[in-house]
Structure 1
Amino acid sequence: MKCFLSRLALFCLLCIPCTAFAQDIRTEQVHFAAGASGTTIRDQIVGYESVSYIVGAEAGQKMTVALAPSNLATYFNVYAPGSGPGGQAIANSGMTGAGVPDLNRFEAALPASGNYTISVYMMRAAARRGERSDFTLDIAITGATGEVVQGDYADGLAGGPDFYAVKTSGSGLNLRAEPSAGAALVTLLANGTNLRNLGCRMAEGRRWCRVATLADPGYEGWAAGEFLIEGSGDASASALPLSNADMPSAADQACLQAVTAETGNPDVVLLSSSYSEAGTEVIVGVGPQQARWQCIAYSDGSTTRPMSLTDEGAL
């Protein structure tokens, strides 16, 4: 009996997720391509490394997560909004049960709106030996969202400021007709523009907020929530949306939209545009480092598939 208990204790110790001992926890924000309900991630961890993938979803939607690792000591935990590694998980992919029909597969209706964390790690014994795991992680969010509620805000879709201000690394923020990186462009909002918050929701793995400008001319549409900070209701302090003269041309807008859809990142800025009869070459900067992407736009409104001009294609 004592031998059995000793072996049981050893087994339990070996099965402790390495997240409790992790020396290197990397965090990645997950965004889906425009119009997509999921994505596939290819990544790796070594030893005590773990990765926390953050994805936005709404209460009642269904989340499906499937992990295919090269090292069978690799698992993942799912954490509800407001929790993460070190806190209580709503599912552990190493133990079948509610929400986990098979090892390394999670399927469940979500209990709350907000950002969920999927933490991929290796068991302590494998981590201690410095083993490596190459894996693919499939994440999908399906099911319709509810009606947008007036007064529903960006931080977790509950509570928060009545007004926002634009803050991006580029020249402005795209205001779109729908909560999607592929939706039509309404206008480009300059940094510092004060906006009224009309309600937020999750789509394509990220938070989108329906906003309206305070100064004339008035614009209303959807903006990516990660580029909004608390603002004020003082219209005189608002930076006006960029003028029509500053607005990108139809070719520029087509490529800005194509790059946004390709990268899943709405933080894009027009760097240069060169017209020719063969097509307009547009260079777009993406993300805080304004990683350069190239796109060719044609007179019929079509574009080539955007191509990264950097070694890493950084977003």
Structure 2
Amino acid sequence: MHKYLTTLACAVLLQGHAWAADPVRREQVELVQGAPVKKLAGKIKGYATVEYSIAAPANGKFDIRLNSAHPSLYFNVSANGSDEAIFVGSRDGAHFHAGVTGATRYKVTVYLMRNAARKNQTASYQLDIGSGA
């Protein structure tokens, strides 16, 4: 019995990496109303994600457009502090647009769909982010 428990414990420890949290890179972005479109370029691999915390100025429009050659790369948008997405790229497309009444902070998460992530694929992308009146 002792040998069985030791073997089981070793197997669990060796599989520990599968339970580890996926890497998340976080970046802060500040937008100025009327400023040129901000271009954020990056690359992700596998289950890694990038979270941009974006401050959108009040009383304007807020746009995000994703450009990538990878067909399984998407982004989601949620209000800061909320886990519920107001925009889901895999369902809603590659362009998010919102009117902003007060100064608002959004969380934009760039990710690969599971079909590409489990194959540890890599995707390059560019997010064009702008705000205007």
Match of 2:95 among 97, 101, 105: 105
Higher relative contact order (CA 8 A, sep 6+): 2
1:124 aligned residue: 114
Would you say how many aligned residue pairs link Structure 1 and Structure 2? 114
CA distance in 2, matches of 1:59, 1:32: 10
CA distance in 1, matches of 2:100, 2:118: 34
CA distance in 1, matches of 2:120, 2:130: 31
2:39 aligned residue: 40
CA distance in 2, matches of 1:22, 1:58: 33
TM-score w.r.t. length of structure 1 = 0.33
Q: 1:65 and 1:116, CA in 2 relative to 1: closer, same or farther beyond 3 A?
A: same
CA distance in 2, matches of 1:118, 1:125: 21
2:12 aligned residue: none
CA distance in 1, matches of 2:23, 2:125: 18
1:89 aligned residue: 85
Moved over 3 A (4+): none
CA distance in 2, matches of 1:129, 1:52: 21
1:135 aligned residue: 125
**Structure 1 residue 124, shift from structure 2 partner:** 0.9
2:75 aligned residue: 76
Secondary structure of the residue aligned to 2:90 is coil
Contact 2:73 2:113 in 1 (8 A): yes
2:24 aligned residue: 25
Contact 1:80 1:112 in 2 (8 A): no
- Which amino acid in structure 2 is aligned with residue 95 of structure 1? R
**Structure 1 residue 81, shift from structure 2 partner:** 2.4
Residues 278-297 of structure 1 mapped to structure 2, 5 A cutoff: none
Q: Deviations for 1:237-291, whole angstroms, at most 9, x for unmatched residues?
A: xxxxxxxxxxxxxxxxxxxxxxxxxxxxxxxxxxxxxxxxxxxxxxxxxxxxxxx
CA distance in 2, matches of 1:111, 1:81: 15
**Structure 1 residue 56, shift from structure 2 partner:** 0.6
Q: 1:50 and 1:65, CA in 2 relative to 1: closer, same or farther beyond 3 A?
A: same
Q: Deviations for 1:64-95, whole angstroms, at most 9, x for unmatched residues?
A: 10101121100000111222xxx101111222
CA distance in 1, matches of 2:107, 2:99: 15
Secondary structure of the residue aligned to 1:125 is helix
Identity of paired residues, percent? 34
Q: Deviations for 1:104-159, whole angstroms, at most 9, x for unmatched residues?
A: 1111213653321111001011101000000111001112xxxxxxxxxxxxxxxx
Q: Which runs of 5+ in 2 are unaligned?
A: 1-19
- Which amino acid in structure 1 is aligned with residue 107 of structure 2? T
Computing the radius of gyration over CA atoms, which structure comes out larger, 1 or 2? 1
Contact 2:57 2:131 in 1 (8 A): no
CA distance in 1, matches of 2:129, 2:90: 17
TM-score w.r.t. length of structure 2 = 0.75
More strand by share: 2
CA distance in 1, matches of 2:58, 2:79: 11
Secondary structure of the residue aligned to 2:120 is coil
